[in-house]
Chain A
Amino acid sequence: MSEATPSTNGLAADHEREPENWEALARRAARRSGEEADQQELVEFLTCDLAGAPYALPVDRVREIVRMRPLTSVPRTPDWLLGVITLRGEVVQVLDLRMCLGLPVSDLGRRTRIVVLHAEDGEVSGLLVDGVRSVLRTDESAICASSLTDVGAVSEMCRNGDEFVSIVDLDHVLESHTDA
């Protein structure tokens, strides 16, 4: 039985890391998790802050992490669609992950970030989070069902030492937020 070994890589302290490092980190992690997944059942998550609590996002969907940038709002769309941003020539919708999960929304701050993901079909979208922490590396045995019932997008949790971190089901989030 292997223990869950969170690898913080000393990143917990460094919240102001440049986006490029995160991208490289996420990419490497995604690649590694793809290759080694079969052998060692390792899974990697990007832990983010939402309304003061940590949440885990599967790293293989994360394309990059960017800071806040000008958001253009789109008329006649629900509140949780904050608008669109341009990202190296692409135009991408940004959803407020806190609202999508029914969490309280706080003002944008220094640590606010947009996590850019690819969906199953390749389309790119962005999720606004209060902050990004680190990449959590663990194996499947550390994942268990959530203690909360009826939470849709958060049905699993991951044990990280003594903490339990909710895992966000990205597909669920994206699929249930499609109506303008």
Chain B
Amino acid sequence: MAARRKRSKQTKAQREFVSEAEEILDRLCTDLAELQSQREEGDGDVDPDVVNSAFRSAHSLKGLAGMVGHDAMAELAHRLEDVLDGVRMSRVGLDSPALPIVDQIIALSTELLASGIESSGSDVERVAEVLARLDVALTDSPVDESKPEPELDIDPSMLAALTEYEEHRLGENVRKGRHLSLVETNFELASFEEGLSELSTAIREVGEVVSTLPSPGAAPESQLRFSLLAATTVAADQLLERLDFPDTTVRIVLEGSGPDVVSEQEAGRAEVSESVPLAPEASDFESLKSVSDSVRVDIRKLDELMTLVGELVIVRGSVAAIANRLTHDGATQRIGAELAKVHKQLDRKLKELQTGVLEVRMVPLRQVFQKLSRVARRLERDLGKRVELDFVGGDTELDKLIVEELVDPLVHLIRNAIDHAIEPADERHAAGKPEVGAISVVASQRGNHVVIEIRDDGRGIDASVVRQHAEASGLIAAETVLSDKEVLSLVFEPGFSTRSEVSETSGRGVGMDVVRSNVTRLGGMVDLDSRVGRGTVTTLTLPITLAIVQALLVETGGQRFAIPLNSVLETLLVDEASIQRSEGRELLNLRGEPLPLRRLSDEFGLESVPSEGGLCAVVLGLGELRMGLLVDALIGQQDAVIKPIQGPVRQVRGIAGATEIGDEGAVLVLDVSSFVEDTVRRKDAA
């Protein structure tokens, strides 16, 4: 009868197979090494349980490999199982020449596993080769004849449930003249494993547990009866004494005799061989060491972890707030103090966790550099220019997310440099420059930020040309006064670079606005500096990590905003009188230096509601630039996880995202770099 069956899923099993097979091979290795050392130190007598364990590993591996269709592995495992069965059934001695080949088979198996389920032609050859050698080795070693079964007074149901191996062990023990006893006891269903384990361990101290048979207990619902067939070096009555267990009986099955009944002292050997010896032959076992010290991690898992840590941090903030409230209320002050103490511990641990997770997310820029290299080589070919790309600071690390977002802008900048900045060979020749254009990407860490510079020795950007185009496309009015640097940064304006012809003369191509918006979205800044005829430097300044930041909570016009603390230099109380006006702008005299000011209320069209003391100025710094942001009040400090704002409406300038604060919902996070740029660079107000 062939009932219908749906197709089953194999790939999950294949993945699990590799993982489990690795574990099995590991165990097998350990067991064999153990046997080796036991053999060397003892009188040739080894722990049969270790042999059996090795056999079972090979057996499992065979079954596994067969199930997923890894034929080469299945074959190897099958032969391994045969050999090890031979060893456990005493048909193959431990001194057999087959044993070293077993080690080689394990090594080969590990290699095969590393290359997946499919075996190559050469793999198949190697398998055949090593198995052929195994065959030779096995024919050389004498095969013991199987012993006849001894007549024993054992419960037939127990005998009936003995596997072939257990029968063999029984025979062996009888041959060695051990005492055979039947140990019976009752255990509670809920806890039998522990008890049984203790009992077995106690028996193993003086011998071997040949078989364990469960039976229904006196009260089948809650009890189990166990019958253990024990082969020991001590007689039954002594065994009973050793096994100090309630409700246990020991019945003599066969009295021991003969030379192998050892004294109590030697019985302690079982304990000694607990420690696992190192793998003997380094060369044979090379391939068995784990391939690397690192673990591959799915970036999504890292993101999840990071989000989780971020949320934990926010929750911790709530705990702090509660502790605070409790402490300030007389009735709950003591509890509040306790909570505050615990919160401190939590905070410390959480910071460690945070650092740890952040570190896991950090990757060196080198991988991006490699990609840029490849892009450059392709462009050289396509554009017919010769360029030498130089990378410095590949070890500089950044959050993986940032690095991923950086790839596109950097590729873009390199492409621009090769395409537009680096002149064709004849032009360079005429200008006295080497034919090969030089582009260098230099990354370095500066405090809380990473700075990446892309330098080229190309034709540079002519500010006056940029100016012309900007005026022509209506970006700026003819009368606007701008410094050369400010003119250059017009290149990043969305309106500027949509006209492709501009690229030829201005030295920069399409898409610079995208570069800047990508970078500012990451919380960074991009900057241009250029000398006509000499070259250009594009500087990207990026925060080291996006994930969790400390934020300063401020309020203006009744609404709260968060400012990433790493850009906040200081905060001051300012009264209107001390604000100076000059050329339509507001400034503050900060220790002798002019600090440009901007009112958050003006920026966002809100009604300022200053407190009695006046306004607060939050001094923001980015690179070397400084400005003061005027707000109504400072609320406090807060951990924040900056999340992007999703939705159809385009991002408002000045807002980097939002963070969640307790039950209050979202708090908008300010984009410091856009404020700083706008204020310091004298951009016209929108």
Contact = CB atoms under 8 A, between A and B. Distances in A.
Real complex partners, A and B?
yes
Interface of A: 69-77, 81, 84-86, 89-95, 119, 123-126, 174-175, 177-180
Contact of B646 (A72, A92, A179, A180): A92
A91 B658 contact: yes
Given A76-B604, A84-B647, A90-B646, 8 more contacts: A75-B603, A75-B605, A86-B665, A123-B646, A177-B648, A178-B650, A179-B650, A180-B651
B617 to A, nearest CB: 20
B605 A123 contact: no
A167 B604 CA distance: 36
Interface in B630-671: 643-652, 655, 657-658, 660, 663-668
Contact of B645 (A69, A70, A84): A84
A81 B667 CA distance: 16
Contacts of B644: 91
Complex A-B, nearest 6 residue pairs according to Cβ-Cβ distance, in ascending order: A93-B647, A70-B665, A75-B604, A125-B647, A91-B658, A72-B666
A93 B651 contact: no
A71 B605 CA distance: 18
B315 interface: no
A95 B664 CA distance: 19
Contacts of B115: none
B606 A177 contact: no
Contact of B650 (A89, A92, A124, A180): A180
Contacts of B663: 70
A84 B666 contact: yes
14 contacts: A70-B664, A71-B665, A75-B655, A84-B658, A84-B668, A89-B311, A89-B643, A91-B646, A91-B657, A93-B646, A174-B648, A177-B648, A178-B650, A180-B651
Contacts of A124: 646-647
B464 interface: no
Contacts of B606: 75
B316 to A, nearest CB: 16
B445 interface: no
Given A70-B665, A72-B667, A89 B605 contact: no
Interface residues of B, number: 27
B559 interface: yes
Most A CB atoms within 10 A — which of B604, B646, B658, B663?
B646
A29 B668 CA distance: 35
Contacts of A177: 648-649
B416 interface: no
A175 B664 CA distance: 30
A8 B646 CA distance: 32
B201 interface: no
A93 B648 contact: yes
Interface in B559-617: 559, 603-606
A11 to B, nearest CB: 28
Contacts of B650: 178-180
A74 to B, nearest CB: 6
Q: Find the residue from B605, B650, B660, B667 having the highest chain A CB count within 10 A.
A: B660
A119 B559 contact: no
A83 to B, nearest CB: 8
A93 B665 contact: no
Nearest to B663: A70
A74 B665 contact: no
Contacts of B647: 81, 84, 92-95, 123-126
B223 interface: no
B307 interface: yes
B494 to A, nearest CB: 13
Contacts of A95: 647-649
Name which of A70, A86, A90, A124 has the most chain B CB atoms within 10 A of its CB: A86
- Scoring B649, B650, B651, B658 by chain A CB atoms within 10 A of each residue's CB, the highest score goes to B649
A72 B663 CA distance: 12
A89 B307 contact: yes
A179 B650 CA distance: 6
Contacts of B652: 74-77, 180
B649 A179 contact: yes
B644 to A, nearest CB: 7
B666 A93 contact: no
A179 to B, nearest CB: 7
A114 to B, nearest CB: 12
Nearest to A178: B648
B665 A125 contact: no
Nearest to B666: A72
B307 to A, nearest CB: 6
A115 B660 CA distance: 20
Contacts of B668: 72, 74, 84
Contact of A85 (B311, B648, B649, B666): B666
A170 to B, nearest CB: 10
Contacts of B645: 74, 84, 91-93
Contacts of A81: 647, 649
A153 B651 CA distance: 23
A81 B645 CA distance: 13
A178 B649 CA distance: 4
Nearest to A72: B666
B651 to A, nearest CB: 7
B648 A69 contact: no
A120 to B, nearest CB: 11
A93 B668 CA distance: 12
A95 B559 CA distance: 20
A75 B651 CA distance: 11
Contacts of A90: 643, 646
A175 B648 contact: yes
B649 A180 contact: yes
Nearest to A173: B648
A119 B648 CA distance: 8
A97 to B, nearest CB: 12
B300 to A, nearest CB: 14
Contacts of B643: 89-91
A81 B668 CA distance: 15
B178 to A, nearest CB: 66
A125 to B, nearest CB: 4
A86 B658 contact: yes
Contact of A77 (B649, B658, B666): B649
B315 to A, nearest CB: 12
Contacts of A91: 643-646, 657-658, 660, 666
A90 B646 CA distance: 8
Nearest to A94: B647
Contacts of B658: 72, 84, 86, 91
A89 B646 CA distance: 12
B657 A74 contact: no
Contacts of A72: 559, 658, 665-668
Contacts of A77: 649, 652
A11 B665 CA distance: 30
Which residue, of A72, A73, A180, has the highest number of chain B Cβ atoms within 10 A?
A72
Contacts of A125: 646-648
B666 A123 contact: no
Nearest to A126: B647
A74 B654 CA distance: 11
Which of B645, B652, B655 has the largest number of chain A CB atoms within 10 A?
A: B645
B306 to A, nearest CB: 11
A121 B664 CA distance: 29
A118 B645 CA distance: 14
A93 B269 CA distance: 72
Nearest to A119: B648
Contacts of A86: 658, 660, 665-666
Interface string B661-683: 00111111000000000000000
Contacts of B664: 70
Nearest to B307: A89
B558 to A, nearest CB: 10
